[in-house]
Chain A
Amino acid sequence: MTTELVDRKIYEREELATGTDAVAHAVRLADVDVFSAYPIRPYTGVMDRLAKFIADGKFDSEYIIADGEHSQFEIAKHASSVGARAFAGSSGTGWLYATEALAATATDRLPLVALVGNRALDDPGAFGVEHNDAMLVRDLGWLIVWASTAQEALDTTLIAYRVAEDPSVMMPCAVAIDGGYLTHSQHIVKIPTKEAVQKFLPPYNLGTRRMHPDNPVSIAPQINEDWGMEIRRQNWEAARRARGVIYRAYKEYNEVFHSSYANPFFEEFMMEDAEIALIGMGTVTSAAKAAVKLLREKGVKVGYVKLRWFRPFPAEELRESLSEVRAVGVIDRDFAHGGPDDGGVLFNDVRAALYHSSNRPQIVDFIGGLAGREISIEDVARMVRITANHKGEGELVTWIRVREGNGAGMERKGGD
């Protein structure tokens, strides 16, 4: 593999960067006006880096160290309300502490972009990745996108501002990256030039909703039963419109940065003629791709779908992508105890999307990688075997790499 030459018109340089460094660069390049910080592992790196940018005079932004995540996100929300581009972020239980502000940011239709460095929720305290934190806002009117490489984290953050601030969308967007993995491992990342970013990302314009004496408005007066349905409907429509805007944003991004994002919602890996497909989000992608490649060499017709956009959920595109496969295995780095068929969050969303598929494939779920546990190439290969051999009856969920007790086999009957 050869190192790609950096186009100096588009990229200022390459840097060995963590996922949080990459996002910090995007925030700096987006000319964010206000960001607020509060420490919690593993997202904190982004704030550390932004603080250093400020200290070194490389970034012109208001920087507020908040007294807690609730304040942190209220600060960002209200900065956004005066027309300032804002950034915040959190992880795990910190993100949950901000939940009230997160919900109101969405209903206020303020296009804040936030980084979620995915982290397991307390108790017990744990630093490792789980997707439940970001997923908490999945029904609240947030856009949620997962990045799985440092470069993608940078690109996605810029795209997130473009989509969130589109006048037809105006919704906040969470950029999620796997804590411990992507937040902390370092990869070579191409850092765009400010000029190129300006070409891609128009200035934030809140229009007639801006809180300013020249634009006197009242935002969010109390409603009664005469208004809630219509207001919720407006938000529902905006989330639907976001799908089209996401397509446009990636097309524009590809044009400016000569990047090659095909379907913006997910990346299809070896999906041509695949009979078996796995689908997952985040850094599990590396292991998944490696396993798929190895299995393809053995003649197994398997592919992998790396989902990026979780909200809005690309149901129609997934039905299309999975229309020819006979079985689908979903990798959930989350839990939804007691949910339908005891599956994870992603499993049930994918399954709901495939319900209306003309050729409805078998679908099973894998819960793994919780609280930072690894998912290996062998684990993914095992998932492919289980998916391929599952009859679609009985238990649909397999826990991956969990210590089973009392001699109960790790392998399900029929799994091999």
Chain B
Amino acid sequence: MSGSSRGTKSEAVSTAEMEKSVLRLEVNYRGIFQKSLAYRITNDLVYAAHSEGKTAFSNGRYSDDPQRNGVPCANFAFFSDALSEDDLEAVASASMDIDRANVVVVLDDTMVKGLEPWGHYGIRPINEKVIPGGTLLIVSRRKPEELIRHLEKKTFDYNIAILPGDQSFAGLWYYRDDATDVRTIAAVARVAPEIVGIHSVEEYVKKKYNDAAKVKSLQEAYDSVVVREVKQSEGIAWPHSKPKLPSWDSFDEGIVVKSVERGFTLGPRGQNRNPNFKRGTSKTQRPVIRFDTCIKCTLCWYDCPDECFDPTADGLYDVNYEYCTGCGRCAQVCPVDDCIVMVDDLNFEDNSSPWEMYKRDAEGYVKWLEEKKGKVRFMPSPVTGKGVRHTEIKAAVPFKQDGGN
């Protein structure tokens, strides 16, 4: 057989028929903190679906490894009630990433602001892979509307489902079992019973854990899921474009990349930064700063491992949230009480300069900020999986009229 005739014929194959029975699930999570959790979820779903006689397998997105704390990662699971293992593997998983999913699970609701797992990817919407009629399932304490306002507007209708719960962060060696794993599986059974039925999930969890509390958690989760349709009119025009990958002959040979161009001036965004990889989508919380009580000690800027504080002419330090990963080191090192505080990133609309806002209207800024902060402060225990201490403050530190000057 000659090469050419063989080529033209094989290129014409269609996978549409095989595609019919394939169901894809994506689990978006925060690197390392939620790695064990994400693997539990996809592994358990595969076991449970297998118990129904389905073909199923799972994998993690290879380019996420080695994982970095906070960086968005993804696991995938694939299911079919018709295909063989080989066929399912071939149809569903021929690439390192997937391009569509029936169910997209999100284990940290701040990821609705977008994902940038790697350099040169651009910030991609969390609902990018949801198919028509598919479901975006988010573990969150928020109402659907609070999340939809961050999502990309699609050209079709789909569903958003909320599994009420907090971001479950454990670490690498220490795993904190707060039942988020079985609760998420139950929620998948609720929004996509074609993947796995709740009965199979229950049986599987009973057998695996022999723990009545776990079973109870999953039943509660199943009942507590809120599902709502998202119309194609809802959401926002996605503000970030997707970088185009160049052909082999249109970029420099010798694996050479131009350095970030040298450039620094005082003030917001005065430091040149890597334009093609912003780390802002790594954060769950953002540091907010009371410029009025700042003593200009420099330590937030000094301790920041992401170089996102911009020194200003008045000796304060603006923060560039596009690059802030939300680690909290600045809040930890700040010697002034309640001056830098970590706050849920979903409380904020954009990444504009807080210093500029402060300079425009200092008192207004502080008032706005204290509203965003609320009265509850979060202090994570040193060992990641050992939980978060919540304390309530009585009142905000009063505005200092001549502060920060």
Contacts and interface: CB of A to CB of B under 8 A. Distances in A.
Given A216-B262, A224-B63, A225-B96, A170 B251 contact: no
A170 B254 CA distance: 8
A224 B252 contact: no
B258 A219 contact: no
A230 B255 contact: no
Given A208-B252, A230-B247, 11 more contacts: A108-B255, A109-B253, A170-B253, A217-B257, A218-B258, A220-B255, A223-B255, A225-B62, A226-B120, A231-B248, A235-B253
B256 interface: yes
Nearest to B119: A221
Given A109-B254, A234-B253, A229 B259 contact: no
A174 to B, nearest CB: 19
A209 B118 contact: no
A238 B255 contact: no
Interface string B97-124: 0000000000000000000001110000
B96 A234 contact: no
A107 interface: yes
B259 A217 contact: yes
Given A216-B262, A225-B96, A230-B246, A108 B254 contact: yes
Contact of B254 (A209, A225, A229, A230): A209
B245 interface: yes
B253 A216 contact: no
A230 B96 CA distance: 17
A233 interface: yes
Question: Which interface class (under 10, 10 to 19, 20 to 34, 35 or more) fits B?
Answer: 20 to 34
B248 A230 contact: yes
A231 B258 contact: no
A208 to B, nearest CB: 7
Question: Which interface class (under 10, 10 to 19, 20 to 34, 35 or more) fits A?
Answer: 20 to 34
Interface of B: 62-63, 96, 118-120, 245-249, 251-259, 261-262
A219 B62 CA distance: 23
Contacts of A170: 253-254
B253 A219 contact: no
A216 B254 contact: no
Nearest to B258: A217
10 nearest A-B residue pairs (beta carbon)? A216-B259, A230-B248, A224-B63, A109-B254, A233-B248, A220-B255, A218-B257, A234-B253, A225-B96, A209-B254
A110 to B, nearest CB: 8
Interface string A296-329: 0000000000000000000000000000000000
A218 B120 CA distance: 15
B85 to A, nearest CB: 23
A218 B248 contact: no
Interface string A91-127: 0000000000000000111000000000000000000
A276 B255 CA distance: 46
Contacts of A229: 248
Nearest to A217: B256
A218 B245 contact: no
A172 B169 CA distance: 49
B46 to A, nearest CB: 24
Which secondary structure characterizes the binding site on chain A?
Answer: mixed
A243 to B, nearest CB: 17
Given A224-B63, A224-B118, A230-B248, A218 B253 contact: no
Contacts of B253: 109, 170, 234-235, 238
Contacts of A224: 63, 96, 118
B340 to A, nearest CB: 32
Contacts of A231: 248, 255
B94 to A, nearest CB: 12
B262 A219 contact: no
B254 A221 contact: no
Contacts of B256: 208-209, 217-219
A206 to B, nearest CB: 9
Contacts of A226: 120, 245
A112 B15 CA distance: 49
Nearest to A235: B253
Interface in A197-230: 208-209, 216-221, 223-227, 229-230
A107 B63 contact: no
Interface in A229-245: 229-231, 233-235, 237-238
B255 A221 contact: yes
A250 B118 CA distance: 46
B397 to A, nearest CB: 44
Contacts of B63: 224-225
30 contacts: A109-B255, A208-B256, A209-B254, A209-B256, A216-B258, A216-B259, A216-B261, A217-B256, A217-B258, A217-B259, A218-B257, A218-B258, A218-B259, A219-B256, A219-B257, A221-B119, A221-B257, A224-B63, A224-B96, A224-B118, A225-B62, A225-B63, A225-B96, A226-B120, A226-B245, A227-B245, A230-B247, A231-B248, A237-B248, A237-B249
Nearest to A218: B257
Nearest to A220: B255
A143 B251 CA distance: 23
B251 A230 contact: yes
Contacts of A230: 246-248, 251
Given A224-B118, A225-B63, A225-B96, A234 B257 contact: no
A224 B103 CA distance: 26
B72 to A, nearest CB: 14
A225 B247 CA distance: 14
A107 B255 contact: yes
Contact of B255 (A219, A225, A237): A219
Given A170-B253, A217-B256, A217-B259, A234 B248 contact: yes
A142 B212 CA distance: 64
A216 B298 CA distance: 29
B313 to A, nearest CB: 27
Contacts of A227: 245
Contacts of B252: 208-209
Contacts of B247: 230
A8 to B, nearest CB: 41
Contacts of B245: 226-227
Contacts of B259: 216-218
B213 to A, nearest CB: 41
B230 to A, nearest CB: 30
A216 B259 CA distance: 5
Contacts of B248: 229-231, 233-234, 237
A225 B62 CA distance: 9
Interface string A1-21: 000000000000000000000
A226 B258 CA distance: 19
Interface in A123-171: 170
A227 B250 CA distance: 12
A233 B250 CA distance: 12
Contacts of A238: 253
A226 B96 CA distance: 10
A226 B118 CA distance: 11
A187 to B, nearest CB: 38
Nearest to A238: B253
A224 B261 CA distance: 24
